[in-house]
């Protein structure tokens, strides 16, 4: 198990290879010793089939997301955990698109991906997962993940730092007993904040056994090019609008009151 | 016949608190626990009781808290209850919306702004308009509930509208779309919606019918995954009378699992008709 000083953590890539290329370049420039991806390579964006080769080419270590579990096993849906029919309608479009474009050799690799990974940074024990250590498709939102709950997650996972994604909106918190939970956000689409940038989490161990420094690094990329690509491939205008405006137009019902209130729709 | 299955308690994620007991300013004809102005079956909870249960839940790593009744806003300590509980996690209040005056909405907004955790409100409607809703809830209640919802929305707290399947066609995609359109027309610009099935308990047994004795789950009907998705696999309900397995079964003596949460951390036998509705519909009372 490696002990690192600085590492980068990418959330869902969602078929957005342009954003991923920029994030890889940025993380290397900032001196990240290792790069990790927390799963959900496809869905939403135009090029799901390009993501795994790109990650492998750059030595990015990948945790399985619910998308890889679903696509890898040809499951009937993405298993994101939506409950609203409109959310499910758009989730279906994204999933079918991804499933259709994923070659079978990639599916085999998806099945073999680990559901979680462990490493240390400055002596701190990290657990990397997609949704939560309990469930691959559990949403850990900032406003509905209180400290007592996070403390128990960390305790049961025997970890000091928990890294996750799945929700699409980044946040991080240090608990009263100095555990850390970092939701790395996603590279695939903006975070419903009216900005067209996406972001990833950069963690740095400054002192041994002390809380890690967490930076959420914004990434600008050719989002207009991606939007054109999405239109050319017949992806819904609702997805394109999100890429161009930074506001979510789908997956809204799953948002807690606080996060929903911050968005435009 | 095989035995009733057992729902495991995986983790106490959700604590329900019946802060108003069974006291309500309405007497809805479909209420699964027959709440009414004169129903004292479960009394109002005190701030001390709420504090004790919330503290116990937090120690168990609970994730969220729901306040219900009866009508929670009848409890004069509701705002301090919300304020204290928000220190431990997100709070959702289920209300009929009738007591949401401008000052209360402003206070709720202040509590929401002062907390790291989400404060959410859920207002129940029972139809697309007064013609359905008021038949179940009483004359004038649709208009008053919507006024409450709009006041909340104006205060920056966009409530979730909960509607039961008593509303015609609501369970279909078309029905939902129609309902959302209706809410927009009434002034909720970004409507949020949760559809609940009807549990044939309490007053609903008179309005329609109760569960037949053969409507029960058996071990052959269930899968492990299905059991783990039930809300009783991750939640409990505290009332002034003790801690129950879920918000639905507080009239069933055998659903009372203990005085404190710690006494209820064990599996529950799914031997009630309502368990069939939860299992088959896959629905939970959570938002």
Chain A CB contacts of B118 below 8 Å = 141, 143-144, 256-259
* pLDDT of amino acid B44: 97
- pLDDT at res. B6: 96
Average of per-residue pLDDT across A5-20: 98
Nearest to A68 by CA among A28, A122, A112: A112
More confident residue, B29 or A55: A55
Asked if the interface predicted TM-score (ipTM) of this complex is over 0.85, the answer is yes
Domain for residue B284, yes or no? no
What CATH number is given to the structural domain containing B189? 3.20.20.70
Taking the CA atoms of chain A, what radius of gyration do you get in angstroms? 17
Positions in chain B short of pLDDT 70 = 1
CA-wise closest residue to A99 among A129, A134, A69, A55:
A69
**Cα dihedral value A173, A176, A180, A186, nearest 10:** -20
Q: Give the distance from residue A55's alpha carbon to the nearest chain B alpha carbon, in angstroms.
A: 33
In a domain, B222, yes or no: no
Asked whether residue B259 is domain-assigned, the answer is yes
Buried b (16+ CB within 10 A) or exposed e, A53-84: ebbeeeebbbbbbbbbbbbbeeeeebbbbbeb
Identify the pLDDT of residue B238. 98
Under the banding of pLDDT at 50, 70 and 90, the label for residue A220 is very high
How far does chain B reach from its first CA to its final CA, in angstroms?
35
Residues of chain B positioned with their CB less than 8 A from the CB of A259 = 118
Angle between the B130-137 and B141-154 helix axes, to the nearest 10 degrees? Answer: 110
Nearest Cα neighbor of A263 from B152, B158, B89, B155 is B158
A136, burial (CB in 10 Å: exposed 0-12, middle 13-18, buried 19+): buried
Count of domains forming chain B: 1
Domain at A3-262, CATH homologous superfamily: Metallo-dependent phosphatases (3.60.21.10)
Q: pLDDT (tens digit, 9 = 90+) per residue, A139-167?
A: 999 999 999 999 999 999 999 999 999 99
Considering only the beta carbons, identify the residue of A146, A257, A265 that sits closest to B119: A257
Closest approach of chain B CAs to the CA of A61, in angstroms? Answer: 30
Evaluate whether residue B105 is within a structural domain.
Answer: yes
Does B90 touch chain A if contact means CB atoms closer than 8 Å?
Answer: yes
Residues B15, A155: Cα–Cα separation, whole Å:
21
Cβ-count burial B93-124 (b if 16+ within 10 Å, e if not) = bbbbbbebeeebbebbbebbeebebbbbbbbb
| Residue B216 domain flag | no
Kindly tell me the burial class for residue A13, based on how many C-beta atoms sit within 10 Å of its own C-beta (0-12, 13-18, 19 or more). buried
Q: Which of A169, A173, A125 is nearest to A148 (CA)?
A: A173
| Residue B229: inside a domain | no
Compare all CA atoms of chain A with the CA of B63 and give the residue at the minimum distance: A149
* Domain region containing B56: 8-210+234-264
In a domain, B202, yes or no: yes
What is the mean pLDDT of the segment spanning A162-190?
98
Structure confidence at residue B1 (pLDDT): 59
Decide if pLDDT at A36 tops 90.
yes
Query: Minimal Cα–Cα distance from A115 to chain B, Å?
Result: 18
């Amino acid at each position: 198990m490696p002990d690192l000083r600085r590492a980068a953590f990418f959330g869902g890539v969602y078929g957005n290879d342009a954003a991923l290329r920029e994030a890889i370049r940025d993380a290397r420039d900032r001196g990240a010793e290792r790069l990790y991806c927390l799963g959900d390579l496809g869905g939403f964006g135009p090029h799901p089939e390009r993501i795994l080769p790109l990650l492998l080419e750059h030595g990015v270590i990948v945790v399985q997301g619910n998308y890889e579990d679903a696509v890898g096993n040809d499951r009937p849906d993405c298993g994101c955990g939506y409950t609203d029919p409109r959310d499910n309608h758009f989730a279906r479009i994204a999933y079918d698109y991804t499933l259709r474009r994923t070659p079978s050799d990639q599916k085999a690799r998806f099945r073999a991906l680990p559901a979680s990974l462990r490493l240390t940074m400055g002596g701190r024990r990290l657990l990397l997962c997609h949704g939560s250590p309990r469930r691959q498709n559990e949403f850990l939102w900032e406003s509905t993940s209180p400290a007592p709950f996070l403390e128990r997650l960390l305790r049961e996972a025997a970890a000091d730092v928990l890294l996750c994604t799945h929700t699409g909106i980044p946040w991080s918190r240090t608990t009263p007993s100095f555990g850390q939970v970092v939701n790395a956000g996603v590279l695939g689409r903006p975070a419903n904040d009216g900005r067209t940038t996406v972001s990833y989490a950069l963690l740095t161990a400054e002192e041994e056994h002390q809380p890690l420094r967490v930076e959420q690094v914004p990434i600008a990329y050719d989002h207009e090019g991606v939007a054109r690509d999405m239109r050319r491939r017949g992806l819904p205008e609702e997805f394109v609008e999100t890429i161009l405006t930074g506001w979510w137009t789908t997956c809204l019902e799953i948002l807690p009151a606080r996060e929903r209130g911050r968005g435009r729709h | 016949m095989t035995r009733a299955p057992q729902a495991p308690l995986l983790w106490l994620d959700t604590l329900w608190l019946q802060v108003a007991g069974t006291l309500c300013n309405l007497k809805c004809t479909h209420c699964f626990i027959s709440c009414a102005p004169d129903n004292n079956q479960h009394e109002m909870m005190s701030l001390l009781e709420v504090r004790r249960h919330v503290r116990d839940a937090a120690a168990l790593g609970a994730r969220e808290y729901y306040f219900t009744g009866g009508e929670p806003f009848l409890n004069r300590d509701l705002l301090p209850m919300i304020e204290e509980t928000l220190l431990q996690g997100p709070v959702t209040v289920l209300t009929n919306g009738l007591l949401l005056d401008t000052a209360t909405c402003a206070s709720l907004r202040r509590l929401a702004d002062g907390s790291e955790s989400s404060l959410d409100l859920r207002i129940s409607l029972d139809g697309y308009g007064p013609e359905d809703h008021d038949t179940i809830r009483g004359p004038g209640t649709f208009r008053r509930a919507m006024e409450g919802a709009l006041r909340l929305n104006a205060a920056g707290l966009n409530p979730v509208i909960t509607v039961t399947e008593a509303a015609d066609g609501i369970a279909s995609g078309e029905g939902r779309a129609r309902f959302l359109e209706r809410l927009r027309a009434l002034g909720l610009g970004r409507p949020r919606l949760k559809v609940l099935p009807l549990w044939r308990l309490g007053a609903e047994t008179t309005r329609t019918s109760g569960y037949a004795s053969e409507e029960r789950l058996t071990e052959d009907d269930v899968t492990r995954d299905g059991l783990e998705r039930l809300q009783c696999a991750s939640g409990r309900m505290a009332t002034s009378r003790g801690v129950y397995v879920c918000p639905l079964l507080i009239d069933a003596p055998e659903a009372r699992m203990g005085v404190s949460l710690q006494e209820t951390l064990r599996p529950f036998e799914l031997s009630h008709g309502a368990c069939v509705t939860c299992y088959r519909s896959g629905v939970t009372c959570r938002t």
